[in-house]
Structure 1
Amino acid sequence: LYYSQGRYSEAEPLYIQALALTRQLLGEEHPDVASSLNNLALLYYSQGRYSEAEPLYIQALALTRQLLGEEHPDVASSLNNLALLYYSQGRYSEAEPLYIQALALTRQLLGEEHPDVASSLNNLALLYYSQGRYSEAEPLYIQALALRRQLLGEEHPSVATSLNNLAVLYDSQDRYSETEPLYIQALALRRKLLGEEHPDVATSLNNLAYLYYSQGRYSEAEPLFIQALDIFERQLGVNHPNTVTTDNNLAYLRDRLD
């Protein structure tokens, strides 16, 4: 619950206690230990503490494979999580085969119409986007968005994520008229579902601000950058990559205004 609200400092000691207790009561070789390792790793990942997250993700994947076999949804989840970590570090060649395995396994085990398939499509699209492989990313993003709307309804955080990601892709191609309405929808949905103080709201504010900045709409961009930076600093700290990026964006904008 605390993790989902972006209250990471409150979540961490609870995750650590849960992991220790699970190990003590169930032993090292139990699926619940793998789940606890994964949860703690996800928290560290979300805080940009990648070097702490990686060994936990690797342990969780190995344990899940050992206990549940290769063909299990939890194996697909672990593959996806480790791939996301590698992706976030720019280790694209290590991330891609893991994402492809995760997508294939998820489709095989859960069928085409499952939220986890949408997540896998989204993640692989994000990797392609980051490599400039836009024509490969776009159809995957569109499939993921359609599937999430169909399965989860219009008002779900994952729909907001898909809207945002598709907007980022269009933004990178200077398709601004297609970008803006998607960013605005994503921001409104995140505010409604997650509250004003959530890091994802800050991400949406930053993205919309950067779009306005790119179009020379500086007076519209500046207050959004300021709001985003304030949320990131309070929720993630001043050294988190997202905070640093937004701080730099605001500095660039102010240089233009001087």
Structure 2
Amino acid sequence: MQTDLWDDFGEVRYNQGRFTEAKALYDRALAMAEKSYPADSPVIAESLLNQAASAYAASQLDAAVAFNQRALSILRPQRANHPEKFIQALSAMASIRLVQGQFEAALTLNNEALNLLRANGSGGELLISTLNTQPMILHNSDRHDDAQRIMQEAVREAERVWGKNSPMLARLLNHLQSILYHQGDEAAAEAAALRALEILQFTYPDGHPEGAAALANVGDFLSETDDVRARAYFDQAISMAKQFDDALAGYSALRSRALMKHRLKDFVGGLSDIESAVALCEQHSPGGSMCYAIRANHANMLVKAGRPQESLEKAQAVVIELERHGLAQSNEYTQALTAKAWAQKALGQLTEAIATQTRAVEIAEKAYGPEHSETKLLRKI
């Protein structure tokens, strides 16, 4: 019972983006589970999955894989009795492989999870969660039509299970919005983002951390077409994140507002926002993938601030940390390399800058293929 409580407390902190606090609570839960239950207990497996999620959030992918594999080794022989936990473990491992750039492995794992769900006639939250992972894998493989089809299936299932005003439905709509936007269907993307926000504002009229994230998401969508409205959404998101002490929503929204200001050549304002985002994410989730992306953005903005040497040092620090965590194929790594290349160019190190950016393109080609949109974008830079 106490194990469940510590896991539950950890989940609350995890969902707030307070990954360091979550890790301490998950450690306590696992220690109690290992003391109280047999080594092959599903209770231990559940704590291991929480540990895997915590390690994943900290970009400690080797540890995440180890925790998840241990959970799978417990659950696979008992999958007939604990199918939902086993499927959860498969889907979690698929998410890890996705971040590692192992798209085929991720797809195989998630397909196994989906096949088990459908064979059992299962629906509800677990099906929706597993369906939600699948489009992310397909989207990163440039299979956007398949990603959209499956995400729409997840949306329909969420409407069936929870109705048309569910926060879970809003979360899925935000993911659908991202897929639609990358396919160039901006009208449908905007409609999905606004519907998600309307659901959350209806459900939580006094505000909520998920509402803060949805406000920022709409701001992201508008930032290239209507910067005045986008700024208003970002301001609301940051204010709401502070109101509910939600670190993840806070540094995500600060990052988005910083990028918009930077694009509008408000370099001072952009740098101020990104430095606030860095401080917040380093306090609560220093090893998280979003924190690495924010630090790479910070390094890039320092070039425009006339501080190329500092930019180079910060970009290189991100590169080294990501390599140490086995994330040298990630989007955050290519962002850090691009920031490093801009700093090298500003310092007159043109040969080094070309070599650095060529390396970023080669990584993208290997991970995504030469015709992937991410690869093409890096070539333009």
Q: Which residue of 2 aligns with 1:46?
A: 57
Residue 15 of structure 2: SS of its match in structure 1?
coil
Superposed CA offset, 1:71-102 (max 9, x none): 2333223432x347637x83463754542332
Specify every segment of 5 or more residues in structure 2 that has no aligned partner in the other structure, as ranges.
1-11, 70-87, 93-109, 307-381
Contact 1:76 1:105 in 2 (8 A): yes
Rg (Cα) greater in structure:
2
Contact 2:241 2:249 in 1 (8 A): yes
Counterpart among 8, 27, 41 of residue 13 in structure 1: 27
Counterpart among 185, 188, 204 of residue 236 in structure 2: 185
Shift in Å at residue 143 of structure 1?
Answer: 0.8
Please tell me whether residue 73 in structure 1 is matched to residue 125 in structure 2: yes
1:143–1:8 distance in 2 versus 1, CA, 3 Å: same
Q: Which residue of 1 aligns with 2:267?
A: 218
Contact 1:210 1:221 in 2 (8 A): yes
Counterpart among 119, 137, 158 of residue 171 in structure 2: 119
Q: Which residue of 2 aligns with 1:137?
A: 189
Tell me which moved more, 156-165 or 49-58: 49-58
Shift in Å at residue 150 of structure 1?
Answer: 0.8
Please tell me whether residue 152 in structure 1 is matched to residue 184 in structure 2: no
Separation in structure 1 between the aligned mates of residue 284 and residue 38 of structure 2, nearest angstrom: 32
Contact 2:57 2:288 in 1 (8 A): no
Separation in structure 1 between the aligned mates of residue 49 and residue 131 of structure 2, nearest angstrom: 11
Shift in Å at residue 244 of structure 1?
Answer: 2.8
Separation in structure 2 between the aligned mates of residue 137 and residue 111 of structure 1, nearest angstrom: 21
Separation in structure 2 between the aligned mates of residue 120 and residue 34 of structure 1, nearest angstrom: 27
The amino acid across from 1:13 in the alignment is D
Please tell me whether residue 246 in structure 1 is matched to residue 278 in structure 2: no
Residue 2 of structure 1: SS of its match in structure 2?
helix
Contact 2:26 2:50 in 1 (8 A): no
The amino acid across from 2:276 in the alignment is Q
Superposed CA offset, 1:85-144 (max 9, x none): 637x83463754542332121112222232222222122112323444423211111111
Q: Which residue of 2 aligns with 1:203?
A: 252
Contact 1:92 1:127 in 2 (8 A): no
Superposed CA offset, 1:23-66 (max 9, x none): 849955xxx78866764554344334567378764267849838
1:34–1:97 distance in 2 versus 1, CA, 3 Å: farther
Separation in structure 1 between the aligned mates of residue 35 and residue 296 of structure 2, nearest angstrom: 42
Separation in structure 1 between the aligned mates of residue 134 and residue 36 of structure 2, nearest angstrom: 26
Counterpart among 145, 150, 163 of residue 215 in structure 2: 163
Superposed CA offset, 1:182-241 (max 9, x none): 00000000011025xx2321122121122211111122222221121122223222x543
- TM value normalised by structure 2: 0.55
Contact 2:91 2:130 in 1 (8 A): no
1:109–1:251 distance in 2 versus 1, CA, 3 Å: closer
Tell me which moved more, 49-58 or 136-145: 49-58
Separation in structure 2 between the aligned mates of residue 128 and residue 21 of structure 1, nearest angstrom: 48
Contact 1:45 1:85 in 2 (8 A): no
The amino acid across from 1:10 in the alignment is A
Tell me which moved more, 183-192 or 6-15: 6-15
1:240–1:84 distance in 2 versus 1, CA, 3 Å: farther
1:231–1:84 distance in 2 versus 1, CA, 3 Å: farther
The amino acid across from 1:58 in the alignment is L
What's the % identity of the aligned pairs?
17
Contact 2:209 2:249 in 1 (8 A): no
1:77–1:245 distance in 2 versus 1, CA, 3 Å: closer
CA RMSD across the alignment: 3.6
- TM value normalised by structure 1: 0.77
Specify every segment of 5 or more residues in structure 1 that has no aligned partner in the other structure, as ranges.
none
1:179–1:10 distance in 2 versus 1, CA, 3 Å: same
Q: Which residue of 1 aligns with 2:227?
A: 176
Separation in structure 2 between the aligned mates of residue 3 and residue 202 of structure 1, nearest angstrom: 15
